[in-house]
Structures are given as C-alpha cells and as structure tokens.
A and B are shown apart, each in its own frame.
Chain A
Amino acid sequence: MADPALAADARRERRFFLSLSLPALFIVGLAAILPILWIIRQSFLTTGGEYSLGNYDKVLSSGLTWSALVTTLELSFGTLAICTLLGTPLALALASARPRVANLLMAFVMLPLWTSILVRTYGWLVLLRRDGLINAALTDSGLTAEPLPLVYNFTGTLIGMVHYMLPLFLLPVYAAMRDIDANLIRAAASMGATLGQTIRTVILPLSAGGIFSGSIIVFIYTLGFFITPAVLGGGKVNPLSTRIERTLSTFQDWGSASVLGILLLVVMALIGVMFLAARRLLTRNGAAHA
C-alpha cells in the first residue's frame, strides 16, 4: 500500500515541472494559435462582412495561385536538392576532420547565420547583378561575352535561399554523422568495405535521421520564404509568400490573403506528413537490411 503523503509529494513535484512550461504555452497560444484562428475566420469573411466561401472560390480558381504554388514547391525542392548535394558531403568532411580543423570550418559555415538576412540578400545582389562582381570577373576575363542573368530570376532566388539554408541543413546532418561510432567505420573497413561502400552502407543509413531533420527544417523555412524571392526574384519569382504580401499591400484583400495563408499551411502540413511517412518507411527498411 503506497503512502498517500509520499504519492502527494510525487504529484506536487510533477505539477511543478509541468507548470514551468506555462509561459511558453501562453506565448505559443497567443502568437501562433490565435492568429491562425483569426486567419481562418477572415478567410470566410467577404469585404461586406458576411460569411461565405467566396474568397476560396476567387483564390482557388485563379491561375496565379496555382503558379505561385508551383513556384513555391520548385523553390523548396530546388533548395532542398542543392542543400542535400552540397551539405551531405560537407557534413561528412566536417565529421571526419580533426576537431580543430572541424571547429574552424564550422565557424565559417556558421558565420552567415550571424548576419541579418537582409544584409546577406543585398550582398548577393552586389555579387550577382549584371554589373556585379561575378559578371564583371566573367566578362573581363573573357570567359563569357555577355553578363549572365544571375539575379532577378529563379536562379538568383535559389542561390540566395541555398546560402541561407545550407548551415541550417548542415547542423543536424553533421551532428548525426559525428555521433557515429568510429569503430563502426573501422569495422566496415576491416571486413573489406571501400570508403564508398562504407559511406553507402554505414554512414548514410546511420545519418538518415539527421538528413531528414535537416530536410524538414529546409522545407519549413523555404515554403514561407519572403525576403529572398522579393529582393533577388525581381518581381519575376512569385511564390505564395509574395502573393500574400501583394494581395495585402496592393489590394488590401484580407480575405484572399487569408485563403492563401491557409493554402500554405495545408501544403506545409501535407509535406510534413509525407516526410514523416517516408522516414518511417526508410528506417524500417534500413533496419531489415543493408
């Protein structure tokens, strides 16, 4: 028979620790859940103040919405693909470097994170413009006759977004790779695995969790990315985020903007579920066999 006084002590202790989460819950409720509820309400309100599905009808039947959605997905998947291709080998290099070298390289990787995104975006403008540093170097050296269209288009937007996302992708991947027991890699080699085989059969499967986390971070950020497409896209790259902004600033149409916002939220949730399902599937297969 448990002593009721001791059980009460245990309960009080648990309650105290739970109560520590209240300030955070309060802020999340205030800053995230309430605005979303408000947006949902707005999406059903016509300019006349009546409830209807009119906003949905207007937004979802517009070709601009769907092309914005396609642009959003192109930017997100493009950024993710390039981050994976650049970030995974980089994480592997960092994880296998000596600690001092790794720390130094890591500092270089993290440096952009300490700079304001606005500063960095305009920095890219300086580099990528028709008369920017890169095009000047290319034309002066005779490598290209004409300046390349590097900015105010999809390419420029992608460059800026990859630059922003790469460190955020790298961190979880690097952490996962660094945590792999060095003896596993030695064991693979002792059994005859080449470096390529070791990477494919041991390192990548064991860092899949980190790669997934990195990918989800890239997605969550890039789906709602605004500044980079707005500055480096030059008005030609219009994902959902810039559409929302234009709908608000140019047309003051809160109803349509709210529908676009909800669309973005739904896309994010769908892709999140897809990722989680894919992760579960992959880890199950990975556990069964190399």
Chain B
Amino acid sequence: MKSLAITIDSVRKTYGTYIALDDVSLDIKAGEFLTLLGPSGSGKTTLLMALAGFVRPDSGKLLLGDQDITRLAPNKRDIGIVFQNYALFPHMNVLANVEYPLVLRKAPRAEVRKRAFEALARVKLEDLSERNIAALSGGQRQRVALARAIVFEPRVMLMDEPLSALDKNLRETMQYEIRRLHDDLGITTIYVTHDQREALIMSDRIVVMNSGRIQQIDTPQRIYNHPSTRFVAEFMGEANIIAPGLVRRIDGVDASPEALMIRAESFHLDAKLAGRDGVALEGTLRAKAFRGENWLLTLVLDGGQEVLVCIPAALASGCAELATGQSMTAFASAAKVHAIPGART
C-alpha cells in the first residue's frame, strides 16, 4: 500500500471571533504514526476534519504528497477515516459496511467480497461478517470501522479519538492492535486523542496542541521528558514547575536560573537514590493518597508552593506512617530536572 506524506501549511480556521486553528503548519512523513494531542477545544479535531475535507479552512494549504487538496471534495481525497462514534451504517450488516467503499468504486463482485474478507481477517472479524451492527460490542464495532477504513487502501488514515468510548482494558488492547495494523500496512496515520498515555504508547511523534496552536512536535520521550512549554509539561503528566531559588543542590551549588520542571515520579525520599549531583526540596507534608501502584504526596515548600511527589509502592514502605504536617525532604537526580525556557512559576 502506497502511503503519502502530508503537508499542512499555515492553516487558519475561525468561527466568528473564536480561533480554532491559528496558522498551523506541520509536516507528516510518509508512513508515520502521528498523534494530535490536546485538551478539548485545542483544535486537534478541527485540524483532522480539515484534512478530511469536512472543515473548510479560512486560509492556508493542505498537501497530500505533491497534490494540493485544500479545495478537493472529501469524496475525492481517498482518505480512510475512523470516527469517534464509529459511524457504521446501522442499516447494513458487518460485511456490507466493509464492502461499501469497494461497491462505490464499482469493483467486480468477487473482488469486493475477497477484499472485504481480507480486511475483516486483519481485524479478526471474519466470523461475524453476517452480524448486524446493533448486535456488536463496542470493541467489535471499532474493528469493523477499522476494516472499513483500510479496505479501499486509502493513502492516509485519520482517526478521531477512536477508542474513547471503550473501557480501559479494551482500550489498551486496541491501542496495540491499531499500532500493529499501522506497522503492517505502513499507512500514514494521524491519530487524535486527549489521552496522554495513549499518545505516548502509540505514536512515532506527538503534536501537542492548545488553543489552536501547536505547542510542541516531538517523539514521545522528548515530549514527556523535555517539554518545551509549561503547558506541555503539565499536560503530559504530574509536573512540578519550580522557581530555581527553591531548589537546593545536594552538593551545595545553586541550580540554573531558569524555571525547572520535575515530574512527580522523579522524586525519591532517600537522598542516596538521587545521587551526588541531585537536588533537594524541603517542605511539609500537606496530604497523602494511596493510588495502588504508588503513593501521591503533596508537599508545601517554604514559599507556599505545592509540589507533587509520587513514590512507587515498592519503594514506599514508610509512606503509610507519614503524618500530615511533618516536615520532609524530596530528592531528584539532576538528570530528571528539566529547565523550561521562558516559563515562569
């Protein structure tokens, strides 16, 4: 299957005074799995729908390979889409849904059937081909939607929060399956989600969006460990943004003058684990919560700032005995302290 690169060039979309997309530019490599991640209202779905052709940008250009598709009708774009609510045709059974794009293309009857069953086999649904949509579970509907989106060998695949309606365990299974499907087919995929973990697990690259703007484009590891803005740092997990003055180096040297980001799970309660060039934060314990795999402690620093400290259950033998109000110190190794340029605490 031939996949194509996508170029998004200063695309802008406004609804009245509301700016949904603020001159967004983005290059997506052929065969890449790219995730648009952001809170609701960040513009991620608008961008996806602009690529699909259902949202007409005010200005800017969209390229599929070398082809300008900015003004191309949606049905001419050859893009496979998986919708949030699956958008399966309720008046057709599983097979008819998957055959639909091929029937539209007037492919010969035998070929239609053969390719539809191949697509159903890819999502392990051959046995349910005669089922009605209403008789399928959420996960099965999701697979039908996937089969229907890949059966006509589109050049690009768009997915709009396809797993948000599934329960947690099924969601995790489907994350791996969708990624495996992508790797098998090598099809350029743009995936929209508001779930950080999902984005980290599935993507080659993540685009973090907020208020119609791209905040950062990077690999999952870089996005998580080296966020370039305060928004990305806080959106990607339990992040503490701390003024440098509040951080004391264990060996006595002051930390950098910029704002620092330390993830809650980077802290240790044992100075030895942080190493010689680590940092220390002193405060009093305000609250503690047991979360199964870890404990979440809320420390208050001298200046009144709250710091979240997450201790894995395996290392937290003493946490149950901690009393709120007691003073304590949290340590982090220097490698886990990340400076955020321009961010203020």
Residues of A within 8 A of B (CB): 181, 183-184, 186-194, 197, 201-202, 205-206, 283, 286-290
* Chain A residues with CB under 8 A of B84: 183
Q: Give Cα A206–Cα B73 distance, bound, in whole angstroms.
A: 24
CB distance from B234 to the nearest CB of A (A): 32
Contact indicator A202/B89 (Cβ below 8 Å): yes
Residue B78 is within 8 A (CB to CB) of chain A in the complex: yes
Residue B87 is within 8 A (CB to CB) of chain A in the complex: yes
CB distance from B131 to the nearest CB of A (A): 11
Contact of A189 among B75, B80, B148 (CB under 8 A): B75
Contact of A287 among B75, B85, B87, B93 (CB under 8 A): B93
Q: Give Cα A216–Cα B47 distance, bound, in whole angstroms.
A: 45
Tell me the nearest residue of chain B to A204, going by C-beta. Answer: B91
Bits for B110-136, please: 1 = Cβ < 8 Å to A, else 0: 000000000000000000000010000
* Chain A residues with CB under 8 A of B88: 187
Stretch of B95-103, B178-186, B289-297 at the chain-chain interface: B95-103
* Chain B residues with CB under 8 A of A283: 91
Residue B231 is within 8 A (CB to CB) of chain A in the complex: no
Contact indicator B81/A190 (Cβ below 8 Å): yes
Bits for B71-87, please: 1 = Cβ < 8 Å to A, else 0: 00111111111011101
Residue B235 is within 8 A (CB to CB) of chain A in the complex: no
* Chain B residues with CB under 8 A of A201: 100
Give the total of B residues in contact with A, Cβ under 8 Å.
31
Instruction: Return 17 A-B CB contacts under 8 Å, by A number.
Output: A183-B84, A184-B87, A186-B74, A189-B54, A189-B74, A190-B75, A191-B148, A192-B101, A192-B105, A202-B89, A286-B92, A287-B91, A287-B132, A288-B92, A288-B93, A290-B89, A290-B103
Q: Give Cα A286–Cα B132 distance, bound, in whole angstroms.
A: 11
Q: Give Cα A239–Cα B152 distance, bound, in whole angstroms.
A: 56
Q: Give Cα A49–Cα B93 distance, bound, in whole angstroms.
A: 62
Bits for B268-282, please: 1 = Cβ < 8 Å to A, else 0: 000000000000000
Tell me the nearest residue of chain A to B52, going by C-beta. Answer: A190
* Chain B residues with CB under 8 A of A191: 75, 80, 100-101, 104, 148, 152
Residue B90 is within 8 A (CB to CB) of chain A in the complex: yes
With A192-B105, A290-B91 already in contact, 15 other A-B pairs whose C-beta atoms are closer than 8 Å: A181-B85, A183-B85, A184-B89, A187-B83, A188-B89, A189-B74, A190-B53, A190-B79, A191-B148, A192-B78, A193-B75, A194-B75, A205-B91, A286-B92, A287-B91
Residues of B within 8 A of A (CB): 52-54, 73-81, 83-85, 87-93, 96, 100-101, 103-105, 132, 148, 152
Contact of A190 among B74, B90, B105 (CB under 8 A): B74
Contact of B91 among A187, A189, A194, A206 (CB under 8 A): A206
* Chain A residues with CB under 8 A of B77: 190
Q: Give Cα A192–Cα B53 distance, bound, in whole angstroms.
A: 12
CB distance from A211 to the nearest CB of B (A): 13
* Chain A residues with CB under 8 A of B100: 188, 191, 201, 290
CB distance from B189 to the nearest CB of A (A): 14
Closest 4 CB pairs of A and B: A191-B101, A183-B87, A187-B87, A189-B74
CB distance from A186 to the nearest CB of B (A): 5
* Chain B residues with CB under 8 A of A206: 90-91
* Chain A residues with CB under 8 A of B76: 192
* Also in contact, A190 and B80, with CB within 8 A (given A206-B90, A287-B132): yes
Tell me the nearest residue of chain A to B90, going by C-beta. Answer: A206
Tell me the nearest residue of chain A to B152, going by C-beta. Answer: A191
* Also in contact, A186 and B75, with CB within 8 A (given A192-B104, A290-B103): no
Q: Give Cα A289–Cα B76 distance, bound, in whole angstroms.
A: 24
Q: Give Cα A192–Cα B99 distance, bound, in whole angstroms.
A: 12
* Also in contact, A287 and B74, with CB within 8 A (given A190-B79, A197-B104): no
Contact indicator B81/A186 (Cβ below 8 Å): yes
Most buried by A among B75, B83, B148: B75
Tell me the nearest residue of chain A to B134, going by C-beta. Answer: A287
Tell me the nearest residue of chain B to A286, going by C-beta. Answer: B91
Contact indicator B96/A186 (Cβ below 8 Å): no
* Chain B residues with CB under 8 A of A205: 91
* Chain B residues with CB under 8 A of A189: 53-54, 73-75
Q: Give Cα A290–Cα B100 distance, bound, in whole angstroms.
A: 8
* Chain B residues with CB under 8 A of A190: 52-53, 74-75, 77, 79-81
* Chain B residues with CB under 8 A of A286: 91-92
Q: Give Cα A283–Cα B91 distance, bound, in whole angstroms.
A: 8
Most buried by A among B84, B100, B132: B100
Contact indicator A289/B92 (Cβ below 8 Å): yes
* Chain B residues with CB under 8 A of A289: 92-93, 96
* Chain A residues with CB under 8 A of B74: 186, 189-190
CB distance from B57 to the nearest CB of A (A): 17
* Chain B residues with CB under 8 A of A290: 89, 91-92, 96, 100, 103
CB distance from A184 to the nearest CB of B (A): 5
Contact of B81 among A187, A193, A194, A288 (CB under 8 A): A187
Q: Give Cα A190–Cα B132 distance, bound, in whole angstroms.
A: 22
Contact indicator A186/B83 (Cβ below 8 Å): yes
* Chain A residues with CB under 8 A of B75: 189-194
Q: Give Cα A205–Cα B89 distance, bound, in whole angstroms.
A: 10
Tell me the nearest residue of chain B to A190, going by C-beta. Answer: B81
* Chain A residues with CB under 8 A of B52: 186, 190
* Chain A residues with CB under 8 A of B93: 287-289
